[in-house]
Amino acid sequence: MITINNIFGQHCARFRIVLMVLLVGIVSACGDGNNEASNQPILIKFPHVTAPGTPKGLTADHFKAVVEERLAGRVTVEVYPSGQLMNDDDSIDALAFGEVQMIAVSLSKLDRLTKRYQVFDLPFLFPDLDAAERFQAGPARDTLLTAMVESGLRGLAFWHNGMKQFGGPLAMTSPEAADGLKFRIMESDVLQEQILQMGGNPQKMAFGEVYQALQTGAVDAQENTWANIYSSKFFEVQEYLTESNHGYLGYLVAVNETFWQGLPADIRAELEQIVAEVSAWGNAQAKDVNDGALANIVASGRSEIAQLSDAQYQVWAEKMRPVWDKFAADIGADMIEAAQAAGRP
Ligand code: SIN
């Protein structure tokens, strides 16, 4: 598939955004492209990068099943898991151009379109998934969901994956352990700063390349959820995994704005309802899916699992505070305060 990424490479982000906004305008002017008028079912192509057994994989498949039952003959959903259609970066462009209709991309990877989601990447901000969920349901919800409408992406919901853990050649019970390590990170400036603050060397890299990069030593270390570490087999190429719960990995479920507004009103309303139900279903089981993945990793005996004591957790959290300071002005003190409050139920 030809996307703006392929044509111009990874480093022209600003140019790509401008071009994307222009092309979204042209696509909008050319109509919505949905098939209802021709009596064909409306097609929702939904690519994502994780395995079917992860929180996102399970929820995407459940969405397809519910849509095709409740809107039988009117809407069809094609889910493409495991990056088999495209990587996340390309899927953001493909959604804006209407090549696909729905995505669920990590909030971290939307950094190039909006700074609003940077709050989700602040280390040691959300203590658990419940805190992130309270924040997502709070007063900031609508602002966050509609932050990229001008770029052609409308957010419908937030889905959890889980809390992130560190993996590498040694136990990361203190920040010093990370000194000098090459860390794979998602495409986020906050995560980049987090690794620099740890004394590591951050490497932004697509999810589908991580296993091989760890295996060949192109990177030494990574951070991800138990569900991703297990399903993508990172545990097979990481000597130590540290249960650090230091950050949140969640997704924005987004649709192409032109496609969405062009849907018949009854179908749009039903899809909205289904997304809400399916999101609640998926988010309610995300923690269990991650706990199950951790149990499977432990049972495999392939990597050593280290835990952080409360005191070690506090040392980590304090060491990472300058990352908050660096991004506080962009994110907004009120947003950070609301996120912190969500962690103090
Ligand atoms: C995902 O969970 O969708 C991928 C996260 C990553 O790139 O690490």
DSSP letters, 133-173, are HHHHTSTTHHHHHTTTGGGTEEEEEEEEEEEEEEEESS--S
Does the CB atom of residue 188 touch ligand 1 within 6 A? Answer: no
Q: What is the DSSP letter of 303?
A: S
DSSP string, 184-242: EE-S-HHHHHHHHHTT-EEEE--GGGHHHHHHHTS-SEEEEEHHHHHHTTGGGG-SEEE
> Which region holds residue 39: left if phi is over 0, alpha if psi is between -120 and 50, else beta?
left
Residues of the chain below pLDDT 50? 1-15, 17-19, 21-33
Q: For residue 251, which atom of ligand 1 is closest to its CA?
A: 3
- What is the reported pLDDT for 29? 45
pTM of the model: 0.91
- Helix, strand and coil content of the chain, in percent to the nearest 5, comes to 55, 20, 25
pLDDT at 293: 98
Q: Is the CB of 106 under 6 A from ligand 1?
A: yes
Q: Is residue 161 lining ligand 1, measured as CB closer than 6 Å?
A: yes
Q: Using the atom order of ligand 1, give the atom closest to the CA of residue 224.
A: 8
Give the residue, out of 107, 161, 204, with the most ligand 1 atoms within 8 A of its beta carbon, to mutate for a pocket test: 161
> Measured in angstroms, how far is the CA atom of residue 240 from the centroid of ligand 1?
20
Q: Please state, in angstroms and as integers, the Cα–Cα distance from residue 136 to each residue in 55, 164, 215, 279, 343, following that order.
A: 17, 18, 36, 12, 12
> Is the CB–ligand 1 distance for residue 232 below 6 Å?
no
Beta carbon of 165 within 6 Å of any ligand 1 atom: no
Coil vs helix vs strand at 332: coil
Ligand 1: which atom is nearest the Cα of residue 109?
7
* Cα–Cα distance, 100 to 83 (Å, whole number): 14
From the CA of 199, how far away is ligand 1's center (Å)? 23
Radius of gyration of the chain (CA): 20
- 224 Cβ below 6 A of ligand 1: yes
* Burial category of 234 from C-beta neighbours within 10 Å (exposed 0-12, middle 13-18, buried 19 and up): buried
Strands (E), the chain: 42-47, 75-80, 102-106, 153-168, 182-185, 201-204, 221-225, 240-256, 304-307
- Domains annotated for the chain, with CATH where assigned, are 4-342 (3.40.190.170)
CB 102 within 8 Å of CB 80: no
Give the other-Cβ count within 10 Å of 311's Cβ. Answer: 8
Give the Cα separation of 57 and 207 in Å (integer): 15
Residue nearest to atom 7 of ligand 1 (CA): 207
- Given ligand 1 and candidates 91, 107, 207, 229, which is best to mutate, with the most ligand atoms within 8 Å of its CB? 207
